[in-house]
Amino acid sequence: MSEPLLPPIDDVARPFFEGALAGELRIPCCPETGRLFFPPREASPFAPRRAHGWQRVSGRGTIWSFVAPHPPLLPYYAERAPYVVVAVALDEEPRVRLVGNLLAAEGGPIEAVAAGEVEIGAPVRAVFERVAPEIALVRWLRL
């Protein structure tokens, strides 16, 4: 069986992945404006000369968009296709959107939800799946 493609973890994104391992969704936050942003970067886009902090958020949001990839895909994903990938607008800041698989049940397979079952605007919550010793990925469950 092939292996999934895992994200590289650099110093800028490390707090996000540390949060995921702890079962928390942590998002970068501008120290001047308090606005959340994503993806992580070295400085706030709202106060570019300032380093940013991190804020723990609820992990709740709504489905903003989705796609169901079909082959040709990388081997690991082709074996599971089709599966649903959602873009979720966070409740705390709807302009911040995170992408991940939509699961039917926590810990379930990524291919268990059919595209026809997905509704734009449906409420979801983040769950975290450890896929390597140092990496947990954000997945989503419908509420």
pLDDT tens across the length of the chain (143 residues): 678 889 999 999 999 999 999 999 999 999 999 999 999 999 999 988 777 899 999 999 999 999 999 888 999 999 999 999 999 999 999 999 999 999 999 999 999 999 999 999 999 999 999 999 999 999 999 99
Q: How far is Cα 95 from Cα 56, in angstroms, rounded to an integer? A: 16
Q: How far is Cα 98 from Cα 78, in angstroms, rounded to an integer? A: 22
* In-domain check, residue 5: no
pLDDT for 102: 99
Q: Dihedral (C-alpha) 126, 17, 65, 141: value to the nearest 10 degrees?
A: -20
* In-domain check, residue 6: no
* In-domain check, residue 72: yes
pLDDT for 54: 97
pLDDT for 1: 60
Q: Are 78 and 26 in contact (CB under 8 A)?
A: no
* Domains identified in the chain, total number: 1
* In-domain check, residue 32: yes
pLDDT for 106: 96
* In-domain check, residue 96: yes
User: And the tokens for 117?
Assistant: 């079952």
SS3 14: helix
Range of the domain at 59: 14-142
Q: Percent helix, strand, coil in the chain (nearest 5)?
A: 10, 35, 55
* In-domain check, residue 1: no
* In-domain check, residue 2: no
The pTM of the full predicted model, rounded to 2 decimals, is: 0.94
